[in-house]
């Protein structure tokens, strides 16, 4: 799994193991952000619910959003989000 566009393009992301979370495919992310692109500005705040690995929120920030808020209940997934955010810096 990776960031597909923006400042963090090609950055590899880790995801939680098991069946509790499922990564969003690259084609789905690309389609989602093709729709959202006109609405992402430098002051946009992005909410990533059921964040899993945080890939959607990280993609939004990579594409120009000011910040992303990640909501996730799984401790393993939260660890993946933290690791992915650390890699992005």
Q: How confident is the model at residue 18 (pLDDT cuts 50, 70, 90)?
A: confident
What pLDDT score does 43 carry? Answer: 94
DSSP 10-72: T-B-----SSS--PPPHHHHHHHHHHHGGG--TT-EEEEET-TTSHHHHHHHHTT-SEEEEE-
pLDDT in tens, 26-36: 899 999 999 99
Q: Is residue 79 part of a domain?
A: yes
9 domain residue, yes or no:
no
CATH of residue 56:
3.40.50.150
Could you give the C-alpha distances from 7 to 42, 50, 72, in angstroms and in order? 13, 24, 24
Q: How many domains does the chain have?
A: 1
In a domain, 34, yes or no: yes
16's CB contacts (< 8 A; 6+ apart) are 52, 53, 74, 76, 77, 79, 80
Residue 11 belongs to a domain: no
The pLDDT assigned to 89 comes to 75
Rounded average pLDDT over 46-64: 96
Residue 60 lies in a domain: yes
The stretch 7-36 carries a mean pLDDT of 90
Domain range enclosing 83: 26-88
SS3 2: strand
20 inside domain = no
């Amino acid at each position: 799994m990776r960031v597909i566009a923006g400042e963090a393009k090609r950055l590899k992301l880790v995801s939680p193991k098991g069946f509790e979370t499922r990564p969003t495919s690259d084609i789905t992310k690309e389609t989602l952000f093709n729709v959202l692109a006109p609405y992402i500005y430098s002051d946009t705040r992005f909410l990533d619910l059921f964040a899993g690995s945080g890939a959607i929120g990280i993609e939004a920030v990579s594409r120009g959003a000011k910040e992303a808020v990640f909501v996730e209940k799984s401790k393993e997934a939260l660890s993946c989000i933290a690791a992915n955010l650390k890699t992005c810096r």
